[in-house]
Structure 1
Amino acid sequence: MRRSWKAAVAAGASAVAVWPVAASSATHRDGDPGQGDGAARKGWTLVDQEGFDRPLAVDGAPWQLDPQGPRSPWNVDAFDDDGEAWTRMSGPLFAKELASLNVFRKRVAFGRNGWLTAEVAAVDKDRDGRPDSRPGLATERLPDGRRAARISEPSWDAGVLIRPTRPLPPRYRVEMTLRGIDFGGERNGTFDYNGRHNGYTREPCKTRFPWTFQGALPGKSRCEYPDVTRENGFYYLTILDYATPAPHGNPGIHFHRKAIMDGYYSDDERWKDAGTCDPKTGKIYRTFDGTFNGVNALFPRGDLFREAANNNISNEYYIKTACGNVSMDKPYGPGGKFRQHLTSAELQPRLLPKAAYRFAVERDRTGYTLEMSGPFLHVGQATLRVHHDFVEDGRPIWHYNQTPGEYDGRFDRRLVHKGPAGTYVTEHSWPKGSAYPDSFIIGDPHLNYYEGSALVDDIRLYVPEDRG
């Protein structure tokens, strides 16, 4: 079947919100990474901030059953939970599998004038009318007395995100401070600690069901779908191309990312040739020789898709690091010995919350800048920044245009997605006249992947001092 790509929330992109300057400046917090008081960022004016000093009302909010379909408040496109793409690729089997579960959700605004929104979701696999786990977002007092927000996700079949309530301005800097992370990766040289493996509790049947990049899998029961416990992760700060991100099945987000800083903690064999950058020496080492606590800083390409691995339901990535620049569709490093992700640096979770990491994304007139600051493995306290133009050396960042006038349609293409029972076609992946608002996410956007908790503090939004 042939369908046209629907630009996500295109109407919202042309009505960019005007963000008033915050009434009071941010206060300095000892242990912040980088240059101290974030309100004093050179060239930027603080317009909103959240330090989580007051209790949140997220966990006490009632659950809502997601009705699915185009009338759902969480509907996105053909690749979301009940998307037409999966139905076309899978035939009746996908609808049957999806009908075996419910999805319950919360959408709660918080912060000054409700500038932030928490999106919480959990699966009800036995359809008993209540979610199977209790993910949430709540304030917590740290050992030094300050407060932060704990993202809590005790089961992989759930998701928790923080996002802006309104689309981001045309130019901005958004940043967050990470105070703790427990979404897998090694601790003291092992993936097995605190009674878990890679951050997952040890119950069986933790699988991708029912969302895969090919749709439903014929002849497979829920527990026979691929296991997820060797792959955990967390989105430190990522920019998406639609206004209302929320947790969905894993594949869908792979069509919606503009700029990515995330952690992907996996010792799966398919990543055995991946590399990690040592920012101190500028040399690449095998990810399997590290601690599996890395930060990926990725620019999704708008001209190249992962046909073999992900059925054209994911962009390829361009990566800039202190060890050089690579495109993930090609081998890299000495002798071309590395493939897949080039991780930019590794965190040291044992130093948290006394230490902290700051992640920031800037959008200016030319493109996106990704920034990370903190005590990284090998190099110690450092700030790492990389910039990619909207179109650089003929290579575009996917869906970079917030308005139709910023893009002329040159990178539009037809994409074919094949499943076991049929084919879905995205006739226009990036048409002329489309527009894609910027929205950030912090947390876990997947309903069938990732499990753990994290402490987030001090989310801030800036606009240029010169708004001309």
Structure 2
Amino acid sequence: MKVTMAAAGATAMAAASAARPVAAESASGAAARGAGGAGRKGWTLVAREGFDRPLTVDGAPWRLDPHGPRSPWHVDAFDDDGEAWRKISGPAFERQLATLNVFRKRVAFGRNGWLTAEIAAVDKDRDNRPDSRPGLANATLPDGQRVGRISEPSWDAGVLIRPTRPLPRHYRVEMTLRGIDFGGKRGGTFDYDGKHNGYTREPCKTRFPWTFWGALDGKTRCEYPDVTRENGFYYLTILDYATPAPHGNPGIHFRRKVIMDGYYSDDDRWKNAGTCDPKTRQIYRTFDGTFNGVNALFVRGDKFREAANNNVSNEYYIKTPCGNVSMDRPYGPGGRFQGHLTSVELRPELLPQAAYRFAVERDDSGYTLEMSGPFRHTGQTTLRVRHQFVEDGRPIWHYNQTPGEYDGRFDRRLVHTGPAGTHTTEHTWPKGSAYPDSFIIGDPHLNYYEGSALVDDIRLYVPDNAR
């Protein structure tokens, strides 16, 4: 089990391979951000965003997404209006999708525009205006520190920060979290500040019209499954295409390589899930915790969630100080737990005076996930977990950035079935394919999640010898 646990050390974050090195800030300046020292041995900082300069995202105009292959936000058959949903749903999906518009913003920011904000909001009454005002703006902490505030006041919207260009072959990317309000418990309850699990209490907050099984024919928006028991936030996750943006919930489940996210849900599916106490290396019931956890997941390229998610979502492999887990099998003492194993829990009440840092590293042979901060049970701690691109015959999904890194051995055919028909993915991972790395911070879902977060100090590094 390749898991390391140590006292929090120096802070770092880096950028695009073509960018020039950025002067490191002083150790005292980084420490004021709650993140440690100014550099990291073996890495050169090439891009950084501290949110000190004014952001222009919220003032940018909204654009109607035209959908279809010509849309700047088109991805593939599992897109918002993708062929997959049309085939498995029949005319029902077309009818339901026609009841709404999607408005978007795509705004570059940071030095040389190295970062991009992707903002999206649904127009449910088709009055040619988004129904809410999600955004990314500057905010100031009590100590005067400037940060970026992700604001998503309604669940039918999404806000992401991503790199403008794909990440280099070898990199370390980091972000510092200074505040989080996307659900979970506060003071032992999901009900606080007039909300439930971070959602305001208006009715009819559902996953319409995107489900893993296509459209639910004959169901109105308000008859779709409610989403307010499931909230969350992507601290730092790597996707397999260059231009991530918010889309319907199912699509992203086919595009993730490695994940560090929070999924705050008291849904019954979590009744057998566990959470790791890194200090004692014992697993406790997630339902006995605070629902402010961090999921550190390596996405499998050889197994898919056939029953639950209709072959659209991969299985995960999880490494923690409490052991290694494949989500499709029971784990823990006597196989007591099954499903998610959450790596550790945050303490949101300590923010913004404290901070959490999340980092992903990619080298010649694998990915390393790192999280640092004052976690529940441990105090200030750094946790690192690593997985080879292919480890014990188990591949990380779409790990290859170039065709030469992969020989086609994990390619397969998948059938996706819905109420009106099937869609077949003939080749999930063919020889000759390549998948760029791009990170996301925020909420990528157009029909889930609601809240706000304070993000600071996004950095990208490349190895010293890559200069």
Query: Aligned partners of 1:25 and 1:118: how far apart in 2?
Result: 24
Query: Aligned partners of 1:397 and 1:23: how far apart in 2?
Result: 31
**Is 1:36 aligned to residue 37 of structure 2?**
yes
Change (3 A) 1:23 1:298: closer
Query: Aligned partners of 2:243 and 2:442: how far apart in 1?
Result: 14
Specify the SS of the correspondent of 1:30.
Answer: helix
Give the alignment of 1:6-405 within 5 angstroms: 18-27=17-26, 28-33=29-34, 35-37=36-38, 40-405=39-404
State the TM-score, normalized to the length of structure 2: 0.95
CA contact (8 A) 1:173 1:461 kept: yes
Query: Aligned partners of 1:249 and 1:53: how far apart in 2?
Result: 32
Query: Aligned partners of 1:385 and 1:285: how far apart in 2?
Result: 20
State the TM-score, normalized to the length of structure 1: 0.95
CA contact (8 A) 2:22 2:48 kept: no
Instruction: Tell me the CA shift for residue 25 of structure 1.
Output: 1.9
Residue type of the alignment partner of 1:277: C
Instruction: Tell me the CA shift for residue 80 of structure 1.
Output: 1.0
CA contact (8 A) 1:26 1:49 kept: no
Query: Aligned partners of 2:230 and 2:433: how far apart in 1?
Result: 34
**Greater displacement, 25-34 / 97-106:** 25-34
Unpaired runs of 5+ residues, structure 1, are 1-15
CA contact (8 A) 1:34 1:382 kept: no
Instruction: Tell me the CA shift for residue 55 of structure 1.
Output: 1.1
Specify the SS of the correspondent of 1:449.
Answer: coil
CA contact (8 A) 2:174 2:357 kept: yes
Query: Aligned partners of 2:459 and 2:173: how far apart in 1?
Result: 6
- The CA RMSD over aligned residues, in Å, is 1.1
Residue type of the alignment partner of 1:106: K
Residue type of the alignment partner of 2:418: G
Cα deviation, 1:132-177, whole Å, max 9, x if unaligned, reads 0000000001100010000000000000000000000000000000
Residue type of the alignment partner of 2:105: K
Query: Aligned partners of 1:135 and 1:307: how far apart in 2?
Result: 34
Instruction: Tell me the CA shift for residue 31 of structure 1.
Output: 4.4
Specify the SS of the correspondent of 1:155.
Answer: coil
Taking only the aligned residue pairs, the percentage that are identical comes to: 81
Query: Aligned partners of 2:21 and 2:183: how far apart in 1?
Result: 36
CA contact (8 A) 2:16 2:47 kept: no
Change (3 A) 1:384 1:32: farther
CA contact (8 A) 1:151 1:456 kept: yes
Q: What is the number of residues matched between the two proteins?
A: 451
CA contact (8 A) 2:22 2:45 kept: no
Specify the SS of the correspondent of 1:335.
Answer: helix
Specify the SS of the correspondent of 1:80.
Answer: coil
CA contact (8 A) 1:31 1:354 kept: no
CA contact (8 A) 1:319 1:342 kept: yes
Query: Aligned partners of 1:251 and 1:61: how far apart in 2?
Result: 28
Instruction: Tell me the CA shift for residue 36 of structure 1.
Output: 2.0
Query: Aligned partners of 2:138 and 2:176: how far apart in 1?
Result: 14
Cα deviation, 1:173-204, whole Å, max 9, x if unaligned, reads 00000000000000000000011000000000
Residue type of the alignment partner of 1:30: A
Instruction: Tell me the CA shift for residue 270 of structure 1.
Output: 1.4
Instruction: Tell me the CA shift for residue 34 of structure 1.
Output: 5.3
Specify the SS of the correspondent of 1:215.
Answer: coil
Query: Aligned partners of 2:35 and 2:19: how far apart in 1?
Result: 26
Specify the SS of the correspondent of 1:434.
Answer: coil
Cα deviation, 1:191-220, whole Å, max 9, x if unaligned, reads 000110000000000000000000101221
CA contact (8 A) 1:31 1:356 kept: no
Query: Aligned partners of 2:16 and 2:344: how far apart in 1?
Result: 34
Unpaired runs of 5+ residues, structure 2, are 1-14
Instruction: Tell me the CA shift for residue 317 of structure 1.
Output: 0.2
Residue type of the alignment partner of 2:161: I
Query: Aligned partners of 1:70 and 1:17: how far apart in 2?
Result: 28
CA contact (8 A) 2:65 2:102 kept: yes
Instruction: Tell me the CA shift for residue 29 of structure 1.
Output: 2.9
Specify the SS of the correspondent of 2:358.
Answer: strand
Cα deviation, 1:247-292, whole Å, max 9, x if unaligned, reads 0000000000001000000001111110000000000000000000
Change (3 A) 1:337 1:99: same
Query: Aligned partners of 1:146 and 1:32: how far apart in 2?
Result: 8
Cα deviation, 1:397-441, whole Å, max 9, x if unaligned, reads 000000000000000000010000000000000000000000000
Residue type of the alignment partner of 2:255: H
Instruction: Tell me the CA shift for residue 32 of structure 1.
Output: 4.0
CA contact (8 A) 1:34 1:383 kept: no
Residue type of the alignment partner of 2:404: G
Query: Aligned partners of 2:209 and 2:25: how far apart in 1?
Result: 44
Query: Aligned partners of 1:369 and 1:353: how far apart in 2?
Result: 26
Query: Aligned partners of 2:319 and 2:32: how far apart in 1?
Result: 27
CA contact (8 A) 2:17 2:167 kept: no
